[in-house]
Structure 1
Amino acid sequence: PLLKIANDMVVDLPTPSNISAWWNFGSLLGLCLVAQILTGLFLAMHYTSDISTAFSSVLIFLHETGSNNPIGLNSNTDKISFHSYFSYKHLVGFAVLLTALTALALFSPNLLGDPDNFTPANPLVTPAHIKP
């Protein structure tokens, strides 16, 4: 099955019109191409397994120790909830930012633009900084 994958990849590659996929397989270029494709597949499978193992070990560590708070309290009666305070503060800040950006975009869209964009272009005169 790996040769079939390599053959399908070689056939799909753009080549000059006088070089066919069958001629390409017989040349040194074709062998190097197959070796590169197979090496890439092997490395992709190799590193994907290592990365998934690393992430799963982090998840197992978080599941064992818990990531809820630094003190390690498990009962909700000993905890102080700040959710209502910072959520309200973030919503108000987001609303102010959204209002300011909307007002800027709707009422003065050219305020932050470059002044050179408003000079009319003269198609008969080539700018001096453009050299042939």
Structure 2
Amino acid sequence: MVANDLAHELARTLKESDEFKQFNKSKEKVMSDTNNHKMVREFQLKQWEIREAQMMEHEISEEKQQELERLYSLVSINPTAREYLEAEFEVSRIVNDIQKIIGEAIQDAMPIGFEELSL
């Protein structure tokens, strides 16, 4: 169970990191203001909608692209919303790095038939 213990230690370390603390602080600030919360939520939903369409290889309308750009403009000039999104991005980057490191370490453990997939 050494690997599980290390995973729990990694989780604790992440939760205690400056980046995660900043993320939680920024999130609380956004959540405490209805307008900021709504703006960030709208932006993220539109962003998710466009990403999903791209993954499905659907064409993204000019209207949807412009709406995302408009929302991004609003978010980027709002210090509270911008700070939250930057903190969220930083935590996501750390988690992605961890996943990549673990994925590379266990690449040889891929089930038969999946050996050629790159992580």
More helix as a share of residues: 2
Normalised to the residue count of structure 1, the TM-score between the two structures is 0.28
Larger radius of gyration between Structure 1 and Structure 2: 1
